Amino acid sequence: MSGPASVELSAVRYVYPDGRHALRGIDLHVPAGERVAVLGPNGSGKTTLMLHLNGVLSPTSGSVRIDGTVVDRSTVREIRSRVGLVFQDPDDQLFMPTVTQDVAFGPANFGVSEPELGHRVRSALDAVAMTEHADRTTMHLSAGQRRRVALATALSCLPGVLVLDEPSNDLDPVSRRELAEVLLRLTATMLVVTHDLPYAAQLCSRAVILDEGRVVADGPISTILADSELLARHRLELPWGFTPASTTPR
């Protein structure tokens, strides 16, 4: 791949304490600003890979670098301010009494104070079109609105890298479209972990397939999604009537 790496994994292996091998020598180079779909069947290592990108997990061997900085104990606080994770379930990220307090929590924890803190919160809520809900509790929001607030909690830390786990899960068609419109406006390097192949095609220009902890395919998403035999080998399937050319990322 061309361009300086925003995300770089070199020979990353990860073995869980029970001896299960989750990642088996992952090499991945993502240039700044690129949007990459991370695809694969259940148990392929997608979530484990995601959790390495901001130091939730550390490699058994190999290295992870964000903008050239190795992710380790000495750098993990800095890395977590630069890599925003948006989990599959927004309730894993939203726990404060109001939307504003949820969005302010991350940057405040990293030492940002007023007036910069308020500016970041307003900018993040504006980016996801949730400003009018700033004083509400997230318990009273729709699934799509909670997903956008969870994204705002990451954006308020000004990350250069965004990692999203199943962003379209449980969203109705309008909420899917609204979230896609938000994500397509962002300039951050983006990794989208998903089983939703049409959504991946809408958001990303490149796809990586993981299976059994290995990268088994890496290339333009239109090429990968057009290879029905490749998809079938790794338990991936396009919905009926969808063709890769029908959705082109911007």
Contact between 9 and 52 (Cβ < 8 Å): yes
* Distance from C-alpha of 217 to C-alpha of 222, rounded to nearest angstrom: 13
* Distance from C-alpha of 200 to C-alpha of 115, rounded to nearest angstrom: 37
Tens digits of residue pLDDT in 65-106: 999 999 999 999 999 999 999 998 888 889 999 999 999 999
pTM for the whole structure = 0.90
* Cβ-Cβ contacts under 8 Å for 186 (sequence gap 6 or more): 127, 155, 162
Question: CATH code at 103?
Answer: 3.40.50.300
Burial of 86 (0-12, 13-18, 19+ CB in 10 A): buried
Tens digits of residue pLDDT in 192-238: 999 999 999 999 999 999 999 999 999 999 999 999 999 999 999 99
DSSP-derived secondary structure for 89-120: SGGGT--SSSHHHHHHHHHHHTT--TTHHHHH
Q: Does 250 have pLDDT greater than 60?
A: no
* Distance from C-alpha of 58 to C-alpha of 35, rounded to nearest angstrom: 23
Tens digits of residue pLDDT in 9-19: 999 999 999 99
Contact between 7 and 190 (Cβ < 8 Å): no
- The count of structural domains within the chain is 1
Supply the range of the domain harboring residue 11: 5-246
- Give the pLDDT of residue 246: 54
- Give the pLDDT of residue 2: 56
- pLDDT-derived band at 45 (thresholds 50, 70, 90) equals very high
